[in-house]
Amino acid sequence: MNPPKFDKTEDMANLTFLNEASVLANLKDRYKDMMIYTYSGLFCVVINPYKRLPIYTESVIKFYMGKRRNEMPPHLFATSDEAYRNMVQDRENQSMLITGESGAGKTENTKKVISYFAIVGATQAAKQEGTKGGTLEEQIVQTNPVLEAFGKYVMLKPSVTTTHLDSENSFERISLHKENSQEEILNIVLFSYCYQRTFAHDRHIPDLLEKSRVVRQAPGERSYHIFYQIMSGHDPKLRGGFYTRSMWTECDIHVKYLDSLKLNHELRYYHFCSQAELTIEGVDDKEEMGITQEAFDIMGFEDEEVMDLYKGCASIMHMGEMKFKQRPREEQAEPDGDEGR
């Protein structure tokens, strides 16, 4: 039993009796008051509040800028500022490791850290009216929807009461390099969605994507989100100016869009994407497709570039339907059917 002065302590390393029970009790007491950040020595423990809190505004960021950690309440911004200041003052590379179970809030906290670095270390260039793209902060933050679409798959594990969504994120790491100055962040390296199996067999360089997921899914699993987003029925604005909303209904536009990619309108037709789950409970692929496209716009991608990416994804879907036949009196095989052309 710890003395009363340690009730709701901000740093659990200060506890007289440091054990699992006292740690859980302290975290629980702080969480009841929506104090979701608690230090544990060098670490910052975060508990997902499952609701939006007004503690991530630009004014809060400026409140933490240049402050020592013990001068302010525990916050991810304090940890971020400490890493940034150490990089600037000591001229040494810094890394932040964000880890936790599925649904713990790794992705959201990563966005907050990136926003902090973008505001603190980057010059806020005003957006020019009529030009494509957003501020540096917006562009960096908007990498997340794209990374999620092209680098994240789903494994659904049934539990006692519900279905547990596990995207197999082992950790997310942000690295700041000593070449960065106080005025600009030249290189923010975001290692997102690194899977635990990456480190099997003493592999030293993480492979960010599990390649087999593209062509094979076990029961209860899904392939990468982008395939389902493309087929979701979202109005893709038909990049490249093929059609306009005034000419076609939304349904017609999507049909023409899929036709331009030479895709069938039924997802189950494509073996690479339909071996198991087609939808995720609580996730609207149509809405997610809109978020992905908005991210491309803010990041400054040209319409033609984005359409080429969609065409690449469509090509992978078509490859799953290829059939092969053996050439007469030869060991070589050749495509059989239109899919090979």
In angstroms, rounded to a whole number, what is the distance separating the alpha carbons of residues 234 and 286?
A: 5
The neighbouring-strand residues paired with 176 are 94, 188
In angstroms, rounded to a whole number, what is the distance separating the alpha carbons of residues 35 and 42?
A: 18
**Contact (Cβ atoms closer than 8 angstroms) between residue 29 and residue 10:** no
Give the H or E element holding residue 55.
none
Q: What is the DSSP letter of 101?
A: S
Nearest to 46, CA basis, from 120, 115, 113, 117: 113
List Cβ<8 Å contacts ≥24 apart for 51-60. Answer: 56/112, 56/115, 58/119
Residue type (1 letter), 330: E
Residue 290 marked ligand-binding = no
Residue 118 marked ligand-binding = no
Residue 103 marked ligand-binding = yes
Nearest to 319, CA basis, from 213, 222, 209, 214: 214
**Contact (Cβ atoms closer than 8 angstroms) between residue 224 and residue 214:** yes
Residue 337 marked ligand-binding = no
Angle at alpha carbon of residue 91, lines to 86 and 96, rounded to 5°: 45
In angstroms, rounded to a whole number, what is the distance separating the alpha carbons of residues 121 and 298?
A: 20
Nearest to 310, CA basis, from 322, 292, 330, 327: 292
**Contact (Cβ atoms closer than 8 angstroms) between residue 189 and residue 174:** yes
Length reported for the chain: 341
Buried/exposed code over 68-94 (b: 16+ C-beta within 10 A; e: otherwise): ebeeeebbbbbbbbbbbbebbeeeeeb
In angstroms, rounded to a whole number, what is the distance separating the alpha carbons of residues 258 and 256?
A: 6
Residue 161 marked ligand-binding = no
Residue 104 marked ligand-binding = yes
Residue 100 marked ligand-binding = yes
Residue 5 marked ligand-binding = no
Pair of tokens at residue 200:
């099997």
Binding residues for ATP: 100-107
Binding residues: 100-107
